[in-house]
Each structure stands twice: as C-alpha cells, then as structure tokens.
Structure 1
Amino acid sequence: MYKFSANLGLLWSECSQIEAIYKAKENGFDAVEFQFPYQYDAGDVKKALDEVNLPVMGINTIKGNTEKGDNGLLAVPSKIKEAREAIIQAFEYAKIIKSKNIHAMAGVSDLSTRSLVTFIDNLKFAKELIKDTNIGLVIEPLNLKDNPGYFLTKIEQAKEICELVGSDSVKIMFDFYHIQINQGNVMERFREHLPYIGHVQIASVQDRSEPDKGELDFNYIIPEIYKIGYKSIIGAEYKPKTTTEEGLGWMKKFN
C-alpha cells in the first residue's frame, strides 16, 4: 500500500547515482529521486532507469555558486539570468529522464517584495516551459537551522506563492523534517495544505537519519497521511547512520 522513493542525493552516497538506481530497485524502493544529478549524462541515467523500470519523482534546480553562499537561485533578484539558465537545465534533464517534478530552489534572499516578485516571475517562466508536458514544479520550505537565510521557510508562505503563480502545476514539497524544525504541528499543517502538496519527504528529527526514531513517529504519520488523502509516493531523503542497507529496517515495517 505504501510506496517509497529513494533519494539518491543522500542514499548510497558512496557510489555513483547510476549504480544507486540499481541498488534502490534491489532493496524494494518503488521510485527514485535526485538532488543534483547533472554530473551524469542524462541518457545514461535514463538507460539505468529503463532497465530497472523505476519512475523518477524529482530533481532539483542547481544551487548556484555554493562557495559564495548560493543555495538555489530563483528568489535572488541579482541572479535572474542564472536562475532561468538553471530552470532550462533542469527542464531539459527532466524531459530525458522523465522526472515527474522539478524542485525549484528559492535560494538565500531577504524577505522583501523584490525577492518575492523575482521568485514568482521565475516560477512563471518555469511554468511556461513545462506547459504541455507531464513535468510538475514543486517548491520546498527549508529549515533555517540547516539553511540559514533561505527565502522559503513556511508552509503558509509556500501556499501563497503557489496561488500567486496561479498554476495547478506548481505544488509544495512537504518535507516533514524541515516543517517540524521550523514550525511543528506537522499533521495539522499537512491536513490544511493537502490540495497544494505535490510530494512528501521524510527523515528523523533532529538528526535527519532513518525515519524510525526522533521527534516524529512515522509509524503513525505515514498511514495517517494516506488516510487524509495523500495518494503518491513518499520520498526517503535522509542521511544513513551507517550504510544505506543496514538502515532500511524502517521500510520493511510498511511492506
């Protein structure tokens, strides 16, 4: 009943993301998702995906120049050109590997009207690109402990941006890890925002490891979100404490 996607940005990080596709299949995942797969040829990734018959839930737009503090580009007024190049790059890659979503990373920016307008304009640009395709856009509130200065941090803010962009193709990536750290009250927030939620991700709070310990009880949360009406795959985006395989006991409980 419950389906899970392996986030290959964090799982099996000791091997190439192409090798990790095969490991995700071997270990019972129903899909994969990437963070930044761009170092790999999209055709090679697609070949591996076809061989194991796993769908792709999403990829991220690039962070930008991380040495200068970039953590995404779309809400940064001084980087509109780079943001649109990043959107096009993600779109071209997503088309080849048949990714269901592109996570449009907002970046580090102040909470000014200028930043908001920049984000919305860039999302509208992305919306036009994905028009008439099966690719969706997601935006994700990130916690400020791990992502200082990030523009998008609250679920209510994300909902407002979805409404301002004005498209059913722009949804929220609801990561229980980030929402719990920033805001708490995760189940009520999930219930209230269900129509806007395009993808879900999980990890333990506070250490972002396997979702079987910590502040949140995923043995309760996972069945509950399906009862509430979520119908898609859940992304396992966590940092394994040891090896990925050794930590997969949490998933076997949901088989």
Structure 2
Amino acid sequence: MERRSFIKKTTALASVAGLGSVGLNAMSLISEKKIDSKPAFNLNYAPHIGMFKNHSGENPIDEINFMANQGFTAFEDNEMRNRPVELQKKMGECLLKNNIKMGVFVAHKIYWNKPSFASGDSSHRKEFLTDIINSVEVAKRVNATWMTVVPGHLDLRLDLNYQTANVVESLKYASEILEKNNLVMVLEPLNFYNHPGLFLTESPQAFQICKSVNSPSCKILFDIYHQQIQEGNLLPNIEKTWDEIAYFQIGDNPGRNEPTTGEINYKNIFKFIHSKGYKGILGMEHGNSLQGKEGELAVIDAYIKTDDFLN
C-alpha cells in the first residue's frame, strides 16, 4: 500500500464554583432561559447526546441546536450507527445548518470479552469489514470523517506478535475501503482498569500499528482519560505519537467527568494541542459531575475555564 501523508482535518457564563444562596438562585434563573452570549472556543470540543438534555429535552435535534447556541463547534455520537436512518439524516442536516463538525461514531461491533481481531478468525474479519462498509453509508448521511475502531480482546492462546499481525491485516483491508471514501478509522487504546483484557491499551502500541498499516485512513484516537490511567506521561506521549493522531477524547480522572473535576491539567493539555496547530475535534466523552441543569452549566463553565489558555 503506497504511503501517503495525512493532514488532520480537520454565553459567557459565571462560574458555578462557590455559589451561595443568591448565586444558586441566579443560576436557576439562567438555566431557565436561553443563554444569549456564547463563548468563542479555541478548539473544537464535541458534546454528545444526553449531555444537555435537562436544557434541551430528549430530542437529539433540539440538543444539537442547544449545543450550537452554547458555542460548541463539533459533536460526536458513539451510537449513530444504531440510530434509525431517517434520524441520522435529520441529525446530519442539523449539524450542517449549525456549521457543526461531526466527530466519531463507533464503526463496528466490539467484542469486549473474547478475541476477535487478535485471533485472525476469518468470520470475525468478514463481520468487521461488513460493518465498515455499512459505516461508510452512515458517515455519508451525517457528513462524518472519523469512526472509532476498538480491536477487542486479547487472544491469550497466541503470542502477542501474531496477534498484532492479525490486527494489522484486518485494518489494512478496512483501510482499502475507507481510503476510497476519504474516511478515517481511529484506533482507541483503552485502559486496563475499566476494560481489562483488551488487545489495544497504549499509545505507543497504537502508533506502531498505524505505522504498520501505513494508511491515511488508519490513525489514533488519543483518549486522554484512558491514557492517564494506562500510561500517564500525557504530553510526551502526545508529542511522540502526534503524526498518527487524528482525534482526541476528553475526560478527567478519577470520575470520568468534565475537566477541572479531577487530576488532569486540561488547560495545559489544550494549550499544547492548540500550539501544535490542531484543527480537529476533541470529543467530550465524559459524564457530568453534577445532576440537572446546574450540572450542565458546570460543564460549559469548565470548558470556558480550561479553554482560556491564550491569556
């Protein structure tokens, strides 16, 4: 497969911290109305369905409109592939109308508890490639570029090198399909604590696999939450794997909630990513640390704070 270079494609709220009774009453009033002034974020942060449901309601279209009103310029939806086709089309149209970039959706069935990619089994490979073909059509409906791929569980009966060769072979077949459609699968290493026994866990491992596949359609999804748990050393590992990173995801640790709720210095990480000229998407793949409308406002406020890295 010929090697080709890959170019990564690519309101203002009062703080909710330390509020007294007057502040809580004021925040309650804010949460009941549309927030008129919205921040101009420096990076493309991507919320997901359900993150702002207390403000927008349960309709995905209404929630996307709410996200746009709060200044978010991207969106991701792991479950997009499983949504009705007509809803996919409507969501795609809504994203276009709001000038919001579509982020990742999960491209295939993931085997969490038994070997799939790593085994080299032909039936698993055929199922995966069929899912990739179907996901190409999903991507067209929602104007997506990226889709998530997780190679599944280790095959404990095979040497790791054989497993790696099997994974690379499947990804090469998938890349041939995706290259023809200018689409990118992003491989997501997942941490040992939340997902024990998976084949792909570390960023250097993902880097090696992408170099072996050698395709602009096979890149890394660097999930900052997972890699903080798995390997730490975040900025040096982002630097070393930069050429193969096409997408980021966000979540603080512990808790996997919005930035500022855990130990990760997201302001510094966002500043570093921005300094590299990154124009892609950072998926907000985390929960809300607080419930209800107050929790949703806290998420927005956290991103306003951590995005303020240029001053």
Question: Which TM-score applies when normalising by structure 1?
Answer: 0.88
Q: Please give the alpha-carbon distance, in whole angstroms, between the structure 2 residues aligned to 1:63 and 1:44.
A: 24
Deviation at 1:154, TM superposition (A): 0.6
Q: 1:245 aligns with which of 296, 299, 306?
A: 296
1:76 offset after TM fit, Å?
5.0
Contact preservation (8 Å) 1:177, 1:208: yes
**For residues 173-196 of structure 1, what are the alpha-carbon distances to aligned partners after superposition, in whole Å with 9 as ceiling and x for unaligned?**
111101110001101111111111
CA shift, 1:16, in A, is: 4.6
In structure 2, the partner of 1:106 is: 151
The alpha-carbon deviation at position 197 of structure 1 amounts to: 0.9
**Distance in structure 2 (CA, Å) of the matches to 1:29 and 1:250:** 13
Amino acid at match of 1:116: T
Whose radius of gyration is greater, 1 or 2? Answer: 2
In 1, Cα distance between the equivalents of 2:242 and 2:204?
12
Quote the residue 2:27 is aligned against: none
Q: Any idea what the Cα deviations from partners look like across 1:195-216, whole Å, max 9, x if unmatched?
A: 1111111111111001113111
Q: What CA distance in whole angstroms lies between the structure 1 residues aligned with 2:147 and 2:219?
A: 10
TM-superposition CA deviations, 1:109-143 (whole Å, max 9, x none): 23634432332122112211122433212111111
Equivalence for 2:108: 62
Q: What RMSD, in angstroms, separates the aligned Cα atoms of the two structures? A: 2.4
Query: Distance between the aligned counterparts of 1:230 and 1:25, measured in 2?
Result: 21
CA distance 1:150–1:240, shift in 2 (3 Å): same
Q: Distance in 1 between matches of 2:153 and 2:300?
A: 33
Distance in 2 separating the partners of 1:148 and 1:174: 18
How far apart are the structure 2 equivalents of 1:100 and 1:116?
Answer: 25
1:92 & 1:74 partners in 2: Cα distance?
A: 23
Provide the C-alpha distance between the structure 2 equivalents of 1:231 and 1:85, rounded to a whole number of angstroms. Answer: 31
One-letter code aligned to 1:21: I
Establish whether residue 222 from structure 1 lines up as the match of residue 222 from structure 2. Answer: no
Task: Measure the CA separation in 2 of the matches of 1:39 and 1:158.
Answer: 29
- The match for 2:79 is 36
1:143 aligned onto 2:179 = no
What's the CA shift for 1:240?
A: 0.9
C-alpha displacement at 1:233, in angstroms? Answer: 2.9
In the alignment, what sits opposite 2:95? 49
Contact 1:171 1:197 in 2 (8 A): yes
CA deviations over 1:50-82 (Å, ceiling 9, x no partner):
33221102211233477xx46x95445342222
User: Helix, strand or coil: the match of 1:141?
Assistant: coil
Unaligned runs of 5+ in 2: 1-40
Higher relative contact order (CA 8 A, sep 6+): 2
Distance 1:147 1:13 in 2: 28
Which of 45, 48, 57 is the equivalent residue of 1:8?
48
Partner of 1:95: 140
Which residue does 2:258 correspond to in 1? 210
CA–CA distance in 1 between the matches of 2:215 and 2:172?
9
CA 1:134–1:168 in structure 2 vs 1: closer, same or farther (change >3 Å)? closer
Asked if structure 2 preserves the Cα contact closer than 8 Å seen for 1:2 and 1:233, the reply is: no
Bigger mean CA deviation after superposition, 141-150 or 10-19: 10-19
Matched, 1:173 2:224: no
Worse overlay, 214-223 or 38-47: 38-47
CA distance in 2: counterparts of 1:116 and 1:177, whole angstroms: 24
Relative to structure 1, the CA distance from residue 115 to residue 21 in structure 2 (aligned partners, 3 Å threshold; closer, same or farther) is: farther
- Identity between Structure 1 and Structure 2 (%): 28
Q: By how many angstroms is 1:5 displaced? A: 2.9
Whether the aligned pair in 2 keeps the contact of 1:191 and 1:228 (CA below 8 Å) is no
Structure 1, unpaired ranges of 5+ = none
